[in-house]
Amino acid sequence: MQKRGQEPTSRTNCHPPASELAELAVDHLRANTEITTWAFTWVSGKSGSIKEQGLTAAPSYRAEKEWGDGIRGLSLNAARYALLRVEHGPPHTKNWRPQVLVMLNLDAEQSVKHPRLLSFTSQLKAGKGLTIVGSVLEGTFLDKHTEAQQAEENIRALMCTEKTKGFCQLVVSSSLRDGMSHLIQSAGLGALKHNTVLMAWPQSWKREDSPFSWKNFVDTVRDTTAAHQALLVAKNVDLFPQNQERFSDGNIDVWWIVHDGGLLMLLPFLLRQHKVWRKCRMRIFTVAQVDDNSIQMKKDLQMFLYHLRISAEVEVVEMVENDISAFTYEKTLVMEQRSQMLKQMQLSKTEREREVRVRL
């Protein structure tokens, strides 16, 4: 029997052991998924061992936050606002760049026939501008909707592999010809539309039973011309380099003939921005008649490239009149177009007169 005022020899009657407090705390955590700050502080203040168990148990029972699609809704609203603000008029000459619609061919298993076409697209675009990857399935949508979904998944997977940033659009049409025409007309949204069509050169185009015969190819060329769009045709595209390859040396040759355009110079310039083509040199070959002043033509073309901020070697190839007579009719039209482009570049009058002397 203890005397009055003397502390008890055991603390069992005053406080439970630390192990029992730990068990109570764990039971409390299991029963309640939400842990308030004051409860956690009270438990941790009683015993160091309880504090350690509380720290390990709290993250396991923390309530998950559900944000919903709020971020996605804000992104869609911002995209809509930006599209409405984009002007529908043609861009300035200096700001023009190819917004590409890539036409892909699919095999019987809905796989892409020419994957290197997407490699070339990623090298040309470098993740900038608009890229729409399109393809056509022949048939009706009610019969081909499952195959269309599988084909779209295959195209998206290949775009991810080739690092092609863009959109996928697949059309089911009664004929391959009509489907490609629909893509050329309706691909894109508002001002975010393509101005260039990229496709592979048709294989076995002389065969009538080919799914992409010469007639479909010619009709696609006509549709692109009617839509006032540029057309890029990649021949032997399966031999094009992949994104992992690097050229340590080489030349990109451009044959700038009479019926030319600035796109022939812009394409190799854009390719050289990619790591694959960065170390390649750009050479421009232009054609002149024997009685032309080749030296002056070379100087004028070099000045023209200087104003376009394109670094390239210039070579003038002289040809006899019979070889180039078929192109002489277009000289006047080409010079008028080039003069209009130089005015849009906001050059001075003296600089424009110097550029007009380029007779190609």
DSSP string of 80-116, one letter each residue? HHHHHHS--SPPPGGG----EEEEE-B-TTS-BS-TH
Q: How confident is the model at residue 36 (pLDDT cuts 50, 70, 90)?
A: very low
Name the pTM for this structure: 0.68
Between residues 99 and 305, the one the model is more confident about: 99
pLDDT, position 216: 84
> What fold does the segment set 93-239 form as a domain?
Rossmann fold (3.40.50)
Torsion of the alpha carbons at 11, 17, 20 and 24, rounded to the nearest 10:
70
| pLDDT tens, position by position, 194-235 | 999 999 988 776 666 665 567 888 899 999 999 999 999 999
Q: Stretch 285-310: mean pLDDT, rounded?
A: 81
Pair 166, 86: CB distance under 8 Å: no
Task: With a cut of 50, say whether residue 269 has pLDDT above it.
Answer: yes
Q: Where are the domains of the chain?
A: 18-57, 93-239, 251-356
pLDDT, position 42: 44
The C-alpha atoms of residue 283 and residue 165 are separated, in whole angstroms, by: 29
Q: Stretch 31-40: mean pLDDT, rounded?
A: 44
Task: With a cut of 50, say whether residue 44 has pLDDT above it.
Answer: no
Task: With a cut of 80, say whether residue 325 has pLDDT above it.
Answer: no
